Amino acid sequence: MAERPVLLVTGAAQGMGRAFALGAALRGWRVAAADIASCEATVTAIAAAGGEGLALTADITDPAQCRGMAEATAARFGRIDALLCNAALFGREPNTALEALESDRFDRMLAVNARGTFETVRAALPHMASGGAILLIASNRVFAGATSLLHYDASKGAVLAMGRSLARELGPRGIRVNILAPGLTMTETVRERPGIAERAPALAAARALGRTLTAEDMVGPALFLLGPDSAAITGQCMVVDGGGVFN
Protein backbone atom coordinates (compact mmCIF):
# COMPACT_ATOMS: atom_id res chain seq x y z
CA MET A 1 0.00 0.00 0.00
CA ALA A 2 1.31 3.46 -0.90
CA GLU A 3 2.60 5.56 1.96
CA ARG A 4 0.16 8.23 3.07
CA PRO A 5 0.93 11.75 1.81
CA VAL A 6 2.24 14.50 4.06
CA LEU A 7 0.61 17.92 4.43
CA LEU A 8 2.04 20.93 6.27
CA VAL A 9 -0.68 23.41 7.29
CA THR A 10 0.06 26.79 8.85
CA GLY A 11 -2.37 28.71 11.01
CA ALA A 12 -3.75 25.38 12.21
CA ALA A 13 -4.52 26.18 15.84
CA GLN A 14 -8.08 27.31 15.08
CA GLY A 15 -10.53 28.34 12.38
CA MET A 16 -9.97 27.29 8.79
CA GLY A 17 -6.48 26.02 9.51
CA ARG A 18 -7.72 23.58 12.10
CA ALA A 19 -10.53 22.49 9.76
CA PHE A 20 -8.00 21.93 6.95
CA ALA A 21 -5.73 19.88 9.22
CA LEU A 22 -8.51 17.67 10.59
CA GLY A 23 -10.19 17.29 7.21
CA ALA A 24 -6.92 16.18 5.61
CA ALA A 25 -6.26 13.67 8.39
CA LEU A 26 -9.74 12.21 7.96
CA ARG A 27 -8.93 11.73 4.27
CA GLY A 28 -5.73 9.84 4.96
CA TRP A 29 -3.06 12.56 5.05
CA ARG A 30 -0.34 12.73 7.66
CA VAL A 31 -0.51 16.28 8.93
CA ALA A 32 1.98 18.73 10.42
CA ALA A 33 -0.11 21.45 12.06
CA ALA A 34 1.76 24.69 12.68
CA ASP A 35 0.81 28.01 14.23
CA ILE A 36 2.24 30.81 16.34
CA ALA A 37 -0.12 29.44 19.02
CA SER A 38 -0.19 25.85 20.25
CA CYS A 39 -1.57 23.22 17.86
CA GLU A 40 -1.74 20.48 20.49
CA ALA A 41 -5.56 20.58 20.52
CA THR A 42 -5.62 20.20 16.74
CA VAL A 43 -3.28 17.21 16.84
CA THR A 44 -5.27 15.68 19.70
CA ALA A 45 -8.38 15.90 17.51
CA ILE A 46 -6.47 14.32 14.63
CA ALA A 47 -5.37 11.43 16.86
CA ALA A 48 -8.92 10.97 18.17
CA ALA A 49 -10.05 10.59 14.56
CA GLY A 50 -7.44 7.90 13.95
CA GLY A 51 -4.99 10.14 12.08
CA GLU A 52 -1.33 10.99 12.51
CA GLY A 53 -0.35 14.55 13.32
CA LEU A 54 2.56 16.68 14.46
CA ALA A 55 2.12 19.92 16.41
CA LEU A 56 4.57 22.71 15.58
CA THR A 57 4.97 26.29 16.77
CA ALA A 58 6.32 28.92 14.38
CA ASP A 59 6.08 32.63 13.62
CA ILE A 60 5.93 32.74 9.83
CA THR A 61 7.49 36.22 9.71
CA ASP A 62 10.73 34.68 11.03
CA PRO A 63 12.71 32.85 8.29
CA ALA A 64 14.56 30.70 10.84
CA GLN A 65 11.32 29.54 12.46
CA CYS A 66 9.88 28.74 9.02
CA ARG A 67 12.93 26.63 8.21
CA GLY A 68 12.64 24.88 11.56
CA MET A 69 8.95 24.15 10.91
CA ALA A 70 9.68 22.62 7.50
CA GLU A 71 12.69 20.66 8.76
CA ALA A 72 10.71 19.24 11.69
CA THR A 73 7.97 18.11 9.30
CA ALA A 74 10.46 16.38 7.03
CA ALA A 75 12.29 14.84 9.98
CA ARG A 76 9.06 13.29 11.27
CA PHE A 77 7.44 12.25 7.98
CA GLY A 78 10.36 12.08 5.54
CA ARG A 79 9.19 14.80 3.16
CA ILE A 80 6.49 17.40 2.45
CA ASP A 81 4.04 16.44 -0.31
CA ALA A 82 1.73 19.43 0.07
CA LEU A 83 1.87 22.84 1.71
CA LEU A 84 -1.17 24.86 2.73
CA CYS A 85 -0.24 28.46 3.58
CA ASN A 86 -3.22 29.40 5.71
CA ALA A 87 -1.61 31.46 8.50
CA ALA A 88 -2.65 35.09 8.23
CA LEU A 89 -3.50 38.19 10.20
CA PHE A 90 -7.05 39.47 9.95
CA GLY A 91 -7.34 41.33 13.21
CA ARG A 92 -10.05 41.87 15.75
CA GLU A 93 -10.08 45.65 15.45
CA PRO A 94 -12.89 47.39 13.52
CA ASN A 95 -12.55 48.29 9.87
CA THR A 96 -10.55 51.48 9.37
CA ALA A 97 -10.89 54.19 6.75
CA LEU A 98 -7.80 55.13 4.75
CA GLU A 99 -7.12 58.37 6.62
CA ALA A 100 -7.13 56.57 9.97
CA LEU A 101 -5.10 53.52 8.92
CA GLU A 102 -1.74 53.72 10.65
CA SER A 103 1.39 52.78 8.72
CA ASP A 104 2.55 50.21 11.26
CA ARG A 105 -0.75 48.34 10.96
CA PHE A 106 -0.35 48.29 7.17
CA ASP A 107 3.22 47.03 7.48
CA ARG A 108 2.28 44.32 9.99
CA MET A 109 -0.51 43.01 7.78
CA LEU A 110 1.81 42.76 4.77
CA ALA A 111 4.57 41.21 6.90
CA VAL A 112 2.36 38.36 8.09
CA ASN A 113 0.09 37.72 5.12
CA ALA A 114 2.42 38.36 2.19
CA ARG A 115 5.99 38.01 3.41
CA GLY A 116 4.99 35.22 5.81
CA THR A 117 3.58 33.26 2.88
CA PHE A 118 6.80 33.84 0.94
CA GLU A 119 8.95 32.68 3.87
CA THR A 120 6.81 29.56 4.37
CA VAL A 121 7.01 28.52 0.72
CA ARG A 122 10.73 29.15 0.54
CA ALA A 123 11.34 27.06 3.67
CA ALA A 124 9.22 24.13 2.50
CA LEU A 125 10.57 23.84 -1.04
CA PRO A 126 13.79 21.96 -0.21
CA HIS A 127 11.62 19.16 1.21
CA MET A 128 9.21 18.95 -1.75
CA ALA A 129 9.69 16.87 -4.89
CA SER A 130 8.04 16.66 -8.29
CA GLY A 131 4.36 15.92 -7.83
CA GLY A 132 4.07 18.27 -4.86
CA ALA A 133 1.39 20.90 -4.46
CA ILE A 134 1.09 24.27 -2.74
CA LEU A 135 -2.09 26.12 -1.87
CA LEU A 136 -2.12 29.77 -0.87
CA ILE A 137 -5.09 31.43 0.82
CA ALA A 138 -6.20 34.76 -0.62
CA SER A 139 -9.70 36.27 -0.30
CA ASN A 140 -12.69 36.96 -2.51
CA ARG A 141 -12.21 40.61 -1.57
CA VAL A 142 -9.37 40.91 -4.09
CA PHE A 143 -11.99 40.59 -6.88
CA ALA A 144 -14.66 42.80 -5.37
CA GLY A 145 -12.87 45.63 -3.60
CA ALA A 146 -14.23 47.11 -0.40
CA THR A 147 -13.79 50.08 1.85
CA SER A 148 -12.09 50.26 5.24
CA LEU A 149 -9.91 47.16 5.11
CA LEU A 150 -7.26 48.33 2.66
CA HIS A 151 -4.27 46.74 4.40
CA TYR A 152 -5.90 43.29 4.45
CA ASP A 153 -7.06 43.53 0.83
CA ALA A 154 -3.59 44.62 -0.30
CA SER A 155 -1.96 41.71 1.51
CA LYS A 156 -4.31 39.16 -0.04
CA GLY A 157 -3.87 40.71 -3.48
CA ALA A 158 -0.16 40.12 -3.03
CA VAL A 159 -0.81 36.48 -2.14
CA LEU A 160 -2.86 36.02 -5.32
CA ALA A 161 -0.10 37.50 -7.48
CA MET A 162 2.54 35.47 -5.66
CA GLY A 163 0.65 32.24 -6.32
CA ARG A 164 0.47 32.83 -10.03
CA SER A 165 4.15 33.74 -10.20
CA LEU A 166 5.11 30.65 -8.19
CA ALA A 167 3.05 28.45 -10.51
CA ARG A 168 5.18 29.62 -13.44
CA GLU A 169 8.44 29.24 -11.55
CA LEU A 170 7.77 25.88 -9.96
CA GLY A 171 5.89 24.22 -12.81
CA PRO A 172 9.08 22.96 -14.47
CA ARG A 173 9.93 21.26 -11.17
CA GLY A 174 6.61 19.42 -11.18
CA ILE A 175 5.18 21.42 -8.28
CA ARG A 176 1.71 22.89 -8.67
CA VAL A 177 0.62 26.15 -7.01
CA ASN A 178 -2.98 27.28 -6.70
CA ILE A 179 -4.91 29.83 -4.69
CA LEU A 180 -8.13 29.53 -2.68
CA ALA A 181 -10.14 32.74 -2.19
CA PRO A 182 -12.72 32.27 0.57
CA GLY A 183 -15.52 34.65 1.31
CA LEU A 184 -16.05 35.93 4.83
CA THR A 185 -16.13 32.72 6.88
CA MET A 186 -17.51 32.52 10.40
CA THR A 187 -14.42 31.40 12.27
CA GLU A 188 -13.59 32.31 15.86
CA THR A 189 -11.57 35.35 14.82
CA VAL A 190 -14.24 36.66 12.48
CA ARG A 191 -16.97 36.34 15.10
CA GLU A 192 -14.91 38.53 17.44
CA ARG A 193 -14.80 41.45 14.99
CA PRO A 194 -17.01 44.38 16.02
CA GLY A 195 -20.33 44.46 14.18
CA ILE A 196 -20.06 41.06 12.50
CA ALA A 197 -22.97 39.50 14.38
CA GLU A 198 -25.26 42.32 13.27
CA ARG A 199 -24.07 42.22 9.66
CA ALA A 200 -24.03 38.44 9.23
CA PRO A 201 -27.61 38.03 7.94
CA ALA A 202 -27.14 40.74 5.29
CA LEU A 203 -23.79 39.31 4.24
CA ALA A 204 -25.34 35.87 3.81
CA ALA A 205 -28.34 37.23 1.87
CA ALA A 206 -26.01 38.96 -0.62
CA ARG A 207 -24.59 35.62 -1.74
CA ALA A 208 -26.18 33.58 -4.51
CA LEU A 209 -26.60 30.66 -2.09
CA GLY A 210 -27.92 32.96 0.61
CA ARG A 211 -26.12 31.39 3.55
CA THR A 212 -23.28 31.82 6.01
CA LEU A 213 -19.92 30.22 5.22
CA THR A 214 -18.18 27.85 7.65
CA ALA A 215 -14.60 26.64 7.86
CA GLU A 216 -15.76 23.19 6.79
CA ASP A 217 -17.01 24.67 3.49
CA MET A 218 -13.37 25.35 2.56
CA VAL A 219 -11.96 21.90 3.28
CA GLY A 220 -13.14 19.99 0.20
CA PRO A 221 -12.04 22.65 -2.31
CA ALA A 222 -8.65 23.01 -0.60
CA LEU A 223 -7.91 19.30 -0.54
CA PHE A 224 -9.06 18.93 -4.14
CA LEU A 225 -6.51 21.55 -5.21
CA LEU A 226 -3.79 19.81 -3.21
CA GLY A 227 -4.64 16.27 -4.27
CA PRO A 228 -4.19 14.05 -7.33
CA ASP A 229 -7.59 14.88 -8.87
CA SER A 230 -6.28 18.37 -9.74
CA ALA A 231 -3.00 17.14 -11.24
CA ALA A 232 -3.42 19.32 -14.36
CA ILE A 233 -4.43 22.48 -12.47
CA THR A 234 -1.92 25.15 -11.52
CA GLY A 235 -1.84 28.93 -11.31
CA GLN A 236 -5.59 29.06 -10.73
CA CYS A 237 -7.66 30.85 -8.11
CA MET A 238 -10.82 29.14 -6.84
CA VAL A 239 -13.33 31.47 -5.19
CA VAL A 240 -15.36 29.72 -2.49
CA ASP A 241 -17.84 32.28 -1.21
CA GLY A 242 -21.32 30.94 -1.86
CA GLY A 243 -21.69 33.08 -4.96
CA GLY A 244 -20.65 36.45 -3.61
CA VAL A 245 -18.38 37.44 -6.47
CA PHE A 246 -17.65 35.85 -9.84
CA ASN A 247 -14.02 36.17 -10.94
CATH classification at residue 130: 3.40.50.720
Containing H/E element for 52?
strand 52-57
Residue 65 within a domain: yes
Tell me the pTM: 0.94
Rg, the chain, Cα only: 17
User: CB neighbours of 12 closer than 8 A, spacing ≥ 6?
Assistant: 18, 20, 21, 31, 33, 34, 35, 39, 42, 86
Residue 245 within a domain: no
Q: How many domains does the chain have?
A: 1
> Which residue segment(s) compose the domain that 207 sits in?
6-240
Catalytic residue among 29, 77, 90, 152: 152
Residue 63 within a domain: yes
Residue 38 within a domain: yes
Residue 233 within a domain: yes
Task: Give pLDDT tens digits along the chain (247 positions).
Answer: 468 999 999 999 999 999 999 999 999 999 999 999 999 999 999 999 999 999 999 999 999 999 999 999 999 999 999 999 999 998 655 667 777 788 998 899 999 999 999 999 999 999 999 999 999 999 999 998 777 788 899 999 999 999 999 999 999 999 999 999 999 888 877 777 767 777 788 888 989 999 999 999 999 999 999 999 999 999 999 999 999 988 7
Concerning whether 73 is annotated as a catalytic residue, the answer is: no
